[in-house]
């Protein structure tokens, strides 16, 4: 059976990605590995410091049958891709499909983050995606660091509401307006439905990453 592995840094992501995969293709199996220490170490010492741990976790997921691994942490996903390439493991960072979609949606892009490291990782990816398509983009940072503690405590409702409120205030005040909003972290997926009143696309990474992963493991026309 085609199998997608997921490398998480928060237990809350397991349910999110399992449900999305089931909705996309219930014939694809999933494997999940959660290591909460990866994010803490990356934030404290830099992503290069967790390369060895990433390699170990990727090998474990492959040993469990994963044909491709989605790195669901925005802060460590880029490093996971690089480590995967060295190991010969197919790794998809969770925000890559979202970045590719964002540069097609408009030139002026709001980049929303509650962790500085997530925005720092996403901005170069957006510019890389823009360059690949011959587009010019302008990135506007929207930071909401005060909301992160709610996610860490497991209060996902308060976290989503806080992110949405911060985005709404910031985006409505921007002149000129933005063309698209990207929520840099997979943890922010719950904020998107609360932002329908913005009348601009609000992109999140989980569903787009799952769709891209399935395309990698399921034969065309199956």
| Digit-coded pLDDT (tens) for 192-212 | 999 999 989 999 999 999 999
- Residue spans of the chain under pLDDT 70: 220-222
Q: How high is the pLDDT of residue 213?
A: 97
Q: Residue 123: its pLDDT value, please?
A: 96
**Contact indicator for 105, 208 with CB cutoff of 8 Å:** no
> Is 0.75 surpassed by the pTM of this model?
yes
Confidence (pLDDT) at 112: 97
> Spelled out in words, what is the top-level CATH class assigned to the domain 3-94+208-217?
alpha beta
Rounded Cα gap, residues 70 and 184, in angstroms:
15
The alpha carbons of the chain give a radius of gyration, in whole angstroms, of 17
CATH architecture of 96-204: 3-Layer(aba) Sandwich (3.40)
The pLDDT assigned to 92 comes to 98
The predicted pLDDT at position 222 comes to 56
Where, residue-wise, is CATH 3.40.50.1860 in the chain? 3-94+208-217, 96-204
pLDDT at 156: 95
Angle between helices 116-132 and 96-105 (to 10 degrees): 60
């Amino acid at each position: 059976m085609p199998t997608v592995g997921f490398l998480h840094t928060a237990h809350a992501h397991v349910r999110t990605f399992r449900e999305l995969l089931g909705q996309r293709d219930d014939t694809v199996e999933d494997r999940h590995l959660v290591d909460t220490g990866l994010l803490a170490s990356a934030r404290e010492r830099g992503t290069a410091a967790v390369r060895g741990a990433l390699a170990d976790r990727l090998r474990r997921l492959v040993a469990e049958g994963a044909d491709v691994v989605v790195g669901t942490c925005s802060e460590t996903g880029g490093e996971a891709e690089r480590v995967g390439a060295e190991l010969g493991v197919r790794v998809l960072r969770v925000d890559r499909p979202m970045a590719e979609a964002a540069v097609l949606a408009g030139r002026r892009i709001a980049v929303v983050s509650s962790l500085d490291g997530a925005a720092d990782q996403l901005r170069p990816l957006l510019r890389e995606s823009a360059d690949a398509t011959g587009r010019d983009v302008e990135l506007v940072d929207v930071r909401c660091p005060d909301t992160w503690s709610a996610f860490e405590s497991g209060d996902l409702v308060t976290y989503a509401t806080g992110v949405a409120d911060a985005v709404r205030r910031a985006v409505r005040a921007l002149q000129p307006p933005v063309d698209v909003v990207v929520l840099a972290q997979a943890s922010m997926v719950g904020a998107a439905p609360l932002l329908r009143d913005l009348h601009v696309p609000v992109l999140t990474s989980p569903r787009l990453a799952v769709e891209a992963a399935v395309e990698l493991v399921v034969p065309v026309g199956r």
